Structure formats: C-alpha cells, structure tokens
Amino acid sequence: METPKSTMVLGRTLRIYFGVVLVIFAVLFLRLTWLQLIQTSFYQLKAVSNTMRWIPEKASRGEIVDRNGEVLVTNRPVFNISLNYLGLKDQDIDEVITKLVQIINDPEISYDSVKTLLKGKNRLYEPIVIKRDVSMELVTAIEERRREMPGVSVDVQPQRTYIYGSLAGHLLGYVHSIKEELDTPGFEDYSINDLVGKTGVEKYYETYLRGQKGFRQVEVTSHNQPVQEVRAISSVPGDKLVLTIDLKLQQAMENSFDEVLAKVQKTYPKAKAGGAVLLDVKTGKTLAMVSRPGLNPEDFNGKSLSQEQADYYFSNEPPALRNRAIQGNYVPGSTFKPVTGMAVLEAAQATPLDTVVCTGKYWFSPYIKCWTVHGRVNYYSAMARSCNVYFQEMGRRAGIAQIGKVGLEVGLGDRTGIDLPFESKGILPDLEWQKNEFGLRREKINQEINRNLEQLEKEYGPKIKAAADQQEKKRLENELKSKKRVWEQRRRERLELYTKWHDWDTFNTSIGQGFNQYTVIQLANYTATIASGGKRYKPSVVERIIDNVGIVVEEFDAEPILISTIDPTTFAETKKAMTAVTAPGGTAYSLFRNFPVNIKVAAKTGTAQPGRAGYIKNKDFDGVFIAFAPVDDPQIAFAGVIEHGYSGGGSIGLVAKAVFEEYFGINKQKQVKTRSTSSVSDGQSAPENPDTETSTETPVQTEDVSEETSPETPVEIPAEIPETIIPEQIPE
C-alpha cells in the first residue's frame, strides 16, 4: 500500500512530465506557425528552386568594322560541350567523364585534364565548358547517349569569328578564357566560362564589346532534364566598334610587308620581324598598322594552343605575340636626324645654309665614321644624303638639352596614348632620363662594389686574426688594402664611364644611335607632327562606338596633345630638307621618282645598329623609314622598321611606297593610262577631256629599288634653296 508521501512524489513527477510535454508541443506549434505563416514565401521559393534552373544566355560580343563599315570581326553560333557539377554530384562522376572523353576523342582532352579542370574551379555551381565549337556529328553522338551522361549538356553559344584571319591581328587582339581577371575589380559578374579580350582592341574596349548576359528559367526533372521554359531575360549584344583603320590600306600594307620580307630574306635571312604604322596627319587616326610575325586571333579563340602554335607565339625567334608597332623599342638611326636639325635651328647655332665639310669621319673623338666622303654640305643636302658628320656637328652645337627638348615636343620618349594596351614608352636620352638612369646605375655599381669589399673583409678578417706573427699579419693587411684599392679604382672607372654623359653620347644621339629607342607608333606620330607644322595629336584606332540599336554611344574626335613651341619656320625648313631626300640625289629618290608632280613625298631613310643580342656588330642593321605626303598639304604619315632589313630605303621604304600608292590611287592611275594607251593603239580616239582619270605621269615602277644613288646625280633641292652637289653616296 502506497504511502501519502510516495503519492505526492508521483503526482509531482507527472506534473513535471506533462509540463515538459506541453512545452515541447508549444515549441513545435510555434515553429510550425513560423514556417507556415511567416516564412511561407521563402520555402515556396526554395521548393520551386529544386525544380528550376537559371541558365545564362551569352551575349554576342560587339562587331568590329573598319572606317567604311567593312566587317572585320563578328560572331557565329557554335556548339559547346559543358559539364554541370550539380548534375554530377549524385552520379558516378568518373564514369561520366570517361564516357565523355571517349566520345569527344580529342588528344588535348583527357580524363586527367577534365578532372583537373573540375578541381581547379571554385565556382562549381556554374557549368564548366569542356570543348568549344564542336561538330554536329559530335553533338549527335552525345545526344544519343545523354541518359548515360547526366550533367553533360550541349549549348549553342555565339563565338568570335575574324573575317580576314590574321589581317590586323595584333591591332584587333584576341579573346580567350578568363583566368586571373576573375579576381580583378570590374570582372565580378563574369563566369568561369567567359571569354575576355586579352590583347588589342578586344582588351582595351572589353567593357563596350562584352554586352549583357541574358537568362532562361527552365523547369527540370530530378535528373536535370528540361521540362519547360518558364521565362527568359534576353541578352543585350555588345557595342559595335568602328575603327579608324581602312581595310584596303591595311591589306596593301600587310601584303607589301610580306612581299618585302620575302625579298629581303634572300639576302638577309634574319629579316623576319618588324612593324609599320600609317597615320592621318590632320587627326592622328591610325589608317593601317602591321606587326610581323603576324598573329591570327582564331588561334586563341577559346581553345588551347597546339605545341606548334605555342612555339610560334612564345618560343620561336622572333616570337610572334608582341605587337611590334607599339611595343617594340627600336634604335631610329638616321630617321632621328630631323630632330637634331630642328634642335640646332631652334638654338640659333646654325642656319639651313651653313655648311660643314664631310671628310668621311667626324673630327671629334671617337671619330665616328660617315657613310662616305660627302664634301661640303648644308642642312638640305646633308639630310638628302644622310651625312653623319654634318648632324654630329649640329648635335654638338645644339647640345643634348636642346635635342631632348625638341624630341619631347615632337612626341619621342613617351607613350603616345594610343587606345591599345601594353604600349611601350621608349627612350629619349634627355636630361631627365639621364638623371634617373644614371642615378640607378650609380646605385647598382656602388652596391656591387660594396658587396665585393664586404666579401674581402669576411675573407681576410679571420686570416688576419689567425696570423702566426706580426709579419704575416702585416702582409695580409697590405694584401687586403691592395685588393680594396683595385675595387675602388674599378668603382671610379665604372662611375665615370657609365654614369656620366660624354661628348660621344651627344654625337651618337644626334645621328639616332646611342641610347635612342622608340616605338614605331612614336616615329609615326613624330613624323606627322613635323608634317603638320607642330600640331601633335593623340593617335587612335577607334573612331566611334555604336550600340545594338544604332545609337552612337561615344565618338572620338581628333585630340590635339600639343601645339609645339618650335618656330614654324624650323618645321618648314625641315620639311624642305626631308623633301630633298626623295629628290634626285636623295637616299629615297628611287622609291618615289615616278610619283605624280602634285604628290611630292618627304622622307628620311635610316640604317640602325641596335647592338642587341642576335645582331653582329657592323654587319646586322635594322631598316627604318619615315615619310609623309603630299608635302604641300600633308595628309598621311608613315613610319616602319624591318629588323635585320639593312637599309630603310631598300626594305621598309618599299612598304611605304606601296601604301602611298594605294592611298593616292597611283596604281589605279597607271592601270587607266595603260588601258587608254591600248585603246589608242587599236585605232580608237583618245579621250577629249584632258582632266579625266587618265594620267599623264610616268607609271610608278614596280621593280626593286635601293637607296643607292649615282655619284654623278646632284641632290635636287626644293625651290628657293641653293643646291649643293654631293660627289658620292653609299646606301644608308
């Protein structure tokens, strides 16, 4: 029989138990109420999401067209094979990958490469593209075995296509898979499968070209098979770029460049690289640009390079990836001489008619040679025959400070600001450059010498302490002092030689050698600045940007950078001197001698000794050339380099000639004249109107020319300038 006390304990225990149960049920009821009433929309969305997929729709990149609307770059639909990791997680991933690799049957796509691709991605919620631009046969094979490969999808996406292959390849640039950009500001909304511009205008104008992605909401089964499309947000194509490039001029420049390289290589096999630029003098717009070896953007178009392609672009000599027109730093050779001429005229240390006697070498040490004995020359004849002695003397009179000042004003030694990535700065050895460069050299030399002195202390310190007697100690101390003196003497010699500006540095600079290094675009802009009489523009390659409905987003007008403080007369005299280069007796006369009289060309040839690896001293030279036309009203300016081309007039000058012929329609005039002559010979009457397209000028020659001029041919000086006859001329 239970006692009252035990009954009370039991009752209290039951009450506690029921209380706990009530609390639990209350909590469950409140939680259920919270889920059902408060968070209804959240869990409804989550439930729907289990059967819905948001599929991104790629936006077509904007087209790229030339200044006349000719399409250079567009898009085409392609099939891409992707792996959806979410669709694979509950399946046998290894089995799916193995089957997919077998079906694709591409030596570059293996089981290990796909596994590496999956492991290397930190956005596994996004599909991963395995292969782009696959054939319809491969698409069919995958669709037939889709049940065996859950997570594998075939999507239609727009892909870049370059209509003319490698034409303007470096300027256009290429697109490739996004990598390091994912962690860069501005790329937050890109996915791991996106292609982005890596070089050229594709990179520089990425934000305009990329467009805006669209999305499709699709209902899927538990096996990720699509059931129906619920809704879609259309993508917005990227903006169209209208370039300043003229397709016909670009083709003329590239075709000529390749032909000239092939010819030059017969004599100079190393001549495989170079670059050229044609600018509009009045706006700074780039009409044509070429770099060799060429680049074909299709090689990089979202796919891996073959070993052969990788060697071509990165390992072969010369490598092809770099745009030499804006990235190659070249010694200008004699194309720099107009700067020296303008510097001495501005310094009032000479007039155009002041003469110098060229004996074949400059009389100041270290006796830098000229090409030949020119005799008495003035500004015009020295420019025409490219006399080193004359311009070294003018450099001495002007001084390096004045040469540097003029060089900066015409755009040398600094980036032009062209709208392309990775432009090099070049080197103009003015006073500011000397201060910075020589300061770094002093620091480096002192650090090296100090390290050697410290090493001597470490080496001799223990020996001196361990010396057996005073005589041995004294001998070691004297030996240490002697070796220190040797290093200190080396310090003084090296500081004197490498950290100070010497007279011979000025002489070398004045003829375009020494420390001078410029890009082709700088040389072209400098030439255009002379042609315009001192107005320097910012070069550009894009004229305007148009959105997908035809509205102009942005238009780029001519952007003057500087109105030169150089006296207009100085520019005028220099233009006359450069015109003498293409007159009889000038180093470029053979190139333009058959141009119409109303299209006079001003130019300067150059043969540069770079002194770099791969060049044999006094044997290997770069051919450099600058020119503008017409002299009376300049419209275009050209600059170009052929590495190992030996002479400017005999190599890259031929490219300038071909481009000028295309621009001014000279070849067309020649063809019209030929047809007219043929008609008359057949008994038909000649045109009555003498102002028709029929040219009365001598047709432009097409055979090879060189810079050589006959020793008996006098230099033809422009009007109102006394003529100086030069006895002999050796190719520059």
Q: What is the pLDDT of residues 299-342, one digit of tens each?
A: 998 778 889 999 999 999 999 999 999 999 999 999 999 999 99
Residues 6+ apart with CB under 8 A from 706: 590, 647, 649, 650, 731
In this model, does residue 286 exceed pLDDT 90? yes
Q: Distance between CA 229 and CA 70 in Å, rounded?
A: 38
In this prediction, residue 717 carries a pLDDT of: 44
In this prediction, residue 81 carries a pLDDT of: 79
CB atoms within 10 A of CB 484: 16
Under 8 Å between Cβ of 218 and 228: yes
Using a pLDDT cut of 70, give the percent of the chain over it: 83
Pull the structure tokens for residue 562: 């500087």
Pull the structure tokens for residue 387: 């006399």
- E strand spans, 234-335: 240-243, 274-280, 286-292
Model confidence at 220, in pLDDT bands (50, 70, 90)? low
Mean pLDDT of 161-190: 91
Under 8 Å between Cβ of 165 and 192: no
Mean pLDDT of 566-586: 97
In this prediction, residue 617 carries a pLDDT of: 86
Write out the H or E segment, with its range, that includes residue 236: none
In this prediction, residue 88 carries a pLDDT of: 61
How is residue 699 annotated by DSSP? P
Model confidence at 729, in pLDDT bands (50, 70, 90)? very low
The SS3 of residue 548 is coil
What string of H, E and C letters represents the secondary structure of 647-663? CCCCCHHHHHHHHHHHH
Amino acid sitting at position 424: S
**First and final C-alpha spacing in the chain:** 132
Higher pLDDT, 144 or 459: 459
Q: Go through the chain and tell me how many residues it has.
A: 732
Q: Which of 119-133, 408-422, 537-551, 642-656 has the lowest mean pLDDT?
A: 119-133
Express each pLDDT in 68-118 by its tens digit: 999 999 998 887 877 776 566 556 777 777 777 777 887 778 777 777 776
Amino acid sitting at position 458: K
Cα 358–360–366 angle (5° rounding)?
Answer: 105
Mean pLDDT of 219-237: 68
In this prediction, residue 302 carries a pLDDT of: 76
For the chain, the average pLDDT equals 85
In this model, does residue 590 exceed pLDDT 90? yes
Mean pLDDT of 593-615: 93
Regarding beta strands 240-243 and 542-546, do their DSSP bridges make them parallel or antiparallel, or are they unpaired? antiparallel
Spatial CA neighbour of 176 closest among 198, 161, 160: 198
Pull the structure tokens for residue 246: 């003229």
In this prediction, residue 58 carries a pLDDT of: 82
- Whole-structure pTM value: 0.81
In this prediction, residue 318 carries a pLDDT of: 95
Q: At which residue do the structure tokens 């030059």 appear?
A: 264
Phi and psi dihedrals of 319, rounded to 5?
A: -70, 150
In this prediction, residue 682 carries a pLDDT of: 37
In this model, does residue 180 exceed pLDDT 90? no
In this model, does residue 181 exceed pLDDT 90? no
Cα→Cα distances 82→137, 152, 702, Å: 16, 6, 54
Q: Which of 92-106, 162-176, 390-404 has the lowest mean pLDDT?
A: 92-106
Spatial CA neighbour of 729 closest among 385, 308, 217: 385
In this model, does residue 34 exceed pLDDT 80? no
